Amino acid sequence: MKKVIAANPWLFPLPPILVSCQDGGKKPNIITLAWCGVVSSNPVMVQIGIRPSRYSHDLILKSREFVINIPTRKLAWAVDLCGTVSGQKKNKFNLTGLTPAPSIKVRVPSIKECPINLECKLVGTLRFGSHTHFLAQVVAVQVEEKILDENGKPDIKKLDPLAFFPIADQYYSIGKLVGRYGFSKEQ
């Protein structure tokens, strides 16, 4: 028996990401986001959803650049901190001890401790309701060699990423492998 409930955006789990941004010469900031996704494979485009009330919202609108930094399970506390404190008053790099590292193609710094950094240039924005969607092209990617497998692809166990379950405000780590793409045809 299923229950009919209010319409909710119940899509999960979501990848919690650390987005670094910066307004001109001002101090860099970090915002935690879960409303994010892939828009296109070619060109490589992604989107992030940010409420206009966030300090980072206008920083990205002005600079038109940001970096998506993929956190590991060890960085869960920093993910939570950057998602509960505003950069309006606090320097979140100082607060978390995370290190701003030079990016390749954008002026915004990447986060050194995150093994994957997607450098993004804003292409456009969309506003439907509570969030502004920033659509961006990924112009460079840096990846920590230690998390790559023998084929040069990220090994999920070495990466040890987080999954966010927004309904209960819970962070999880990744569980067991269930199958590989196309495994249904091998049976």
Q: Please report, as ranges, the residues that interact with ligand FMN according to CB under 6 A.
A: 16, 29, 31-35, 49-51, 54-56, 80, 83-88, 164
Toward ligand FMN, which CB reaches closer, 25 or 179? 25
What Å distances lie between residue 164 and 62, 68, 90, 135, 157, CA to CA? 29, 16, 24, 22, 17
Cβ at position 169, least distance to ligand FMN in Å: 8
Cβ at position 179, least distance to ligand FMN in Å: 28
Residue number, nearest CB to ligand FMN: 83
Among 45, 35, 41, residue whose Cα is nearest residue 14: 35
Toward ligand FMN, which CB reaches closer, 13 or 83? 83
Residues 6+ apart with CB under 8 A from 117: 67, 68, 69, 70, 103, 110, 111, 141, 142, 143
Toward ligand FMN, which CB reaches closer, 33 or 106? 33
